[in-house]
Chains A and B, each alone.
Chain A
Amino acid sequence: DTEVTQTPKHLVMGMTNKKSLKCEQHMGHRAMYWYKQKAKKPPELMFVYSYEKLSINESVPSRFSPECPNSSLLNLHLHALQPEDSALYLCASSQVSPFTQYFGPGTRLTVL
């Protein structure tokens, strides 16, 4: 089973709202990732967690706050977003080695 699940599939939020995206995997992977993808652009890495510790933050604004409560779960907390943050947010997981990443279907976020 190489499934990564993400909820919700779609999210519409106002600029003053607080919301969270959830990602889950049960493949025993110890690395998890958040990517952001704007329309007609390739995915861009936001955060990497390795063994439940944040190992890479690609200079993401603080209005995005990741959390890895355990090895199967990854959350992305959203607060005070801007309309330009509207995008497809993708979660992925992998073994630390070998590296192959498996992606979820994404959450389509719209900020009004």
Chain B
Amino acid sequence: DAKTTQPPSMDCAEGRAANLPCNHSTISGNEYVYWYRQIHSQGPQYIIHGLKNNETNEMASLIITEDRKSSTLILPHATLRDTAVYYCIVRVTQQAAGNKLTFGGGTRVLVKP
């Protein structure tokens, strides 16, 4: 799976949009970009994923650049409950040996009042 690079930490203001960048310059054509987050001492929570097109769901939007070498997760109106570690992962959806998620260091996001 392609390696990802994320800033180790970032702060954002409550009520404002939070833009979380991720670089994945070695991504292959069949690799999807997945985002998970982990609130302190809880299990990781799936947020969103995409291949080429931008995606939006009730939690967030995912913007993938045209060359697919980077992406941005957007939390449109950050709340204090969005304080968490956010992981960007790129992988192939199906592998003969089974599905693997390889977590990188993630971005520790602190939402401030």
State whether the Cβ of A98 lies closer than 8 Å to any Cβ in chain B: yes
State whether the Cβ of B113 lies closer than 8 Å to any Cβ in chain A: no
Pair B99/A99 contact, Cβ less than 8 Å: yes
| B94: contacting residue among A45, A88, A97, A104, CB under 8 A | A97
What mask results when residues 9 to 37 of chain B are scored 1 for a CB within 8 Å of chain A, else 0?
00000000000000000000000101000
Q: A42-B104, A42-B105, A99-B93 given as contacts; is B44 within 8 A of A94 (CB)?
A: no
Q: A55-B97, A97-B93, A97-B94 given as contacts; is B43 within 8 A of A45 (CB)?
A: no
> In whole angstroms, how far apart are the Cα atoms of A90 and B94 in the complex?
22
**Residues of A with C-beta under 8 A to B106:** 42
**Residues of B with C-beta under 8 A to A33:** 101
Pair A101/B46 contact, Cβ less than 8 Å: yes
A48 to chain B, nearest CB (A): 4
Name A58's closest neighbour in chain B (CB-CB). B100
**Residues of A with C-beta under 8 A to B34:** 100
Name A50's closest neighbour in chain B (CB-CB). B98
State whether the Cβ of A31 lies closer than 8 Å to any Cβ in chain B: yes
> In whole angstroms, how far apart are the Cα atoms of A50 and B94 in the complex?
12
Pair B43/A105 contact, Cβ less than 8 Å: yes
Interface residues of B in 65-94 (CB under 8 A from A): 85, 87, 91, 93-94
A82 to chain B, nearest CB (A): 23
24 contacts between A and B (CB under 8 A): A4-B43, A31-B98, A33-B101, A42-B104, A42-B105, A43-B103, A48-B98, A48-B100, A50-B98, A56-B98, A90-B44, A92-B43, A92-B44, A97-B93, A99-B32, A99-B91, A100-B49, A101-B101, A103-B43, A103-B44, A104-B43, A106-B41, A106-B43, A108-B41
